[in-house]
Amino acid sequence: MSLKLFELVGTDVERPFSPFCWRTRMALAHKGLSAQSIPWCFTEKQAIALHRSEKVPVLVDGETSVADSWAIANYLEDRYPDRPSLFGGEGGRAMARMINWWGDITVVGGMFPLIVADIPANLKPADAEYFRKSREARFGKPLEQVVAGRDKSVEGFRKALEPMRLTLKSQAYLGGDKPNYADYIVFGAFQWARVVSPFKFLSGDDPVYAWREKLLDAFDGMARKSPGHQV
Amino acid sequence: MSLKLFELVGTDVERPFSPFCWRTRMALAHKGLSAQSIPWCFTEKQAIALHRSEKVPVLVDGETSVADSWAIANYLEDRYPDRPSLFGGEGGRAMARMINWWGDITVVGGMFPLIVADIPANLKPADAEYFRKSREARFGKPLEQVVAGRDKSVEGFRKALEPMRLTLKSQAYLGGDKPNYADYIVFGAFQWARVVSPFKFLSGDDPVYAWREKLLDAFDGMARKSPGHQV
How large is the average pLDDT for residues A126-155?
96
How large is the average pLDDT for residues A75-92?
97
Q: Residue A42: pLDDT above 80?
A: no
Beta carbons of B92 and A94 less than 8 Å apart = yes
Q: How many CB atoms lie within 10 A of CB A220?
A: 8
How large is the average pLDDT for residues A87-93?
96
Strand partners, B59: B5, B66
| HEC sequence for A98-137 | HHHHHHHHHHHHHHHHHHHHHCHHHCCHHHHHHHHHHHHH
Stated pTM of the model: 0.95
User: Residue A14 — very low, low, confident or very high, per pLDDT cuts 50/70/90?
Assistant: confident
Q: Residue B45: pLDDT above 80?
A: no
The whole-number pLDDT of residue B1 equals: 61
Q: Residue A1: pLDDT above 70?
A: no
Complex ipTM over 0.85: yes
Name the residue among B25, B29, B28 with its Cα closest to residue B9: B25
* Averaged pLDDT score across all residues of chain B: 94
Residue A72, classed as helix, strand or coil, is helix
The whole-number pLDDT of residue A41 equals: 80
Is the Cβ of B164 closer than 8 Å to some Cβ of chain A?
Answer: yes
The whole-number pLDDT of residue A193 equals: 97
Chain A nearest C-alpha distance from B125 (Å) = 35
Residue of B nearest to A93 (CA): B92
User: Residue B12 — very low, low, confident or very high, per pLDDT cuts 50/70/90?
Assistant: confident
How remote is the C-alpha of B220 from its chain's centroid?
Answer: 18
List pLDDT tens digits, range B111-166.
Answer: 999 999 999 999 989 889 999 999 999 999 999 999 999 999 999 999 999 999 99
Task: Return the C-alpha torsion angle B38, B41, B42, B44, nearest 10.
Answer: -80
Strand partners, B8: B40
List pLDDT tens digits, range B169-214.
Answer: 999 999 999 999 999 999 999 999 999 999 999 999 999 999 999 9
User: Residue A54 — very low, low, confident or very high, per pLDDT cuts 50/70/90?
Assistant: confident
Residue of A77, A87, A98, A107 to mutate, testing the B interface (most B Cβ within 10 Å of its Cβ): A98
